[in-house]
Amino acid sequence: MLELTMATVSAADAGATAGMTMAQAPSEPGAVLRVGRDAAGCRLVTPEDWLFVSRVHLEFRCGPGGGWQLTWLRGSQPDPASEVRLTTGGSVQQLAPGATVPLPHGGSGEIAVQDRSGPHSVNVGFYHEV
């Protein structure tokens, strides 16, 4: 089971979470959870006017062995308006647009999507329960 918790934060919130939502999916091959502005295609949805987040920005997909991977999907803009960082086990990894990385089996961490031009961020915590 992969559990996600998303918090959206803006400068006006001054460190407080503006909204927190949760989603989960069983660790079955082909299971998918998406994060973005499009409510029709994403389980975790950011504010519509936060254009630094793509309609479908992040995808969590379960592979054949029950392990999960994270993909920063390429948006329609050649130069993304955000940065994506993955933090696990005390290490921080900057992701490139289009990159796919495995999530630690049975681990936890956080993905931060940071607006390059403003004080907004989307923080997605994950926990992979085995």
pLDDT in tens, 30-49: 999 999 999 999 999 998 99
pLDDT in tens, 116-125: 988 889 999 9
Whether 43 contacts 58, CB under 8 Å: no
Whether 51 contacts 81, CB under 8 Å: yes
pLDDT above 90 for 128: yes
In angstroms, the CA 110 to CA 113 distance is: 10
pLDDT in tens, 103-113: 998 899 999 99
* Contacts of 89 by beta carbon, 8 Å cutoff, 6+ apart: 104, 107, 109
Exposure string for 17-36, b = 16+ CB within 10 A, e = fewer: eeeeeebebebeeebebbbb
Would you place residue 78 in the very low, low, confident or very high pLDDT band (cuts 50, 70, 90)?
confident
